[in-house]
Amino acid sequence: MEKTDLLYRLIWMSRPLMQAAEASVEQGLAGTGLTVRMRAVLEILHAHGDATVPDIARKLDINRQYVQLMVNETLGAGLTVQRPNPRHRRSILLALTEEGRAVIGQVIARERALVAAIGADIDAEDARTALTVVLALVGKLKHHAGKVEG
């Protein structure tokens, strides 16, 4: 298979990969009270600390208004709280509560164990190469889309 064919197939395999990953994540959330959307917000806060809605939207690479809906779910569930932002009065910071920190910590630990199990027979260097290629493709496709749309 030619390089172009391989890259084309790799790009189009991202959809079934994400669908399978989302189904697996959803299954792993059973009993936690979390939705996939809530999990995404909690993961960002777990990894990066307190953040504004626009910060979370940038990290998830999705629309700010949609993130606000996601954030509202976490606030309603008592998994996050709003705090004043010393850098910007009108842009409130979102922070994990103790319950939010505990639940996302458990979810991430289970997911990492699953990834370790399903990836046991995948060579680390192959995984590193795959990640490098995917990151390069994402960057180049985003750049191209910006040029085409702009």
Dihedral sign from CA coordinates of 108, 33, 56, 94: negative
Confidence band for 148, pLDDT divided at 50, 70 and 90: low
**By the 8 A CB rule, do 36 and 26 touch?**
yes
What domains sit in the chain, N to C, each tagged with a CATH number?
A: 33-118 (1.10.10.10)
Q: Helix, strand or coil for residue 9? A: helix
pTM of the model: 0.85
pLDDT at 150 over 70: no
> Each residue of 26-51: pLDDT tens digit?
999 999 999 999 999 999 999 999 99
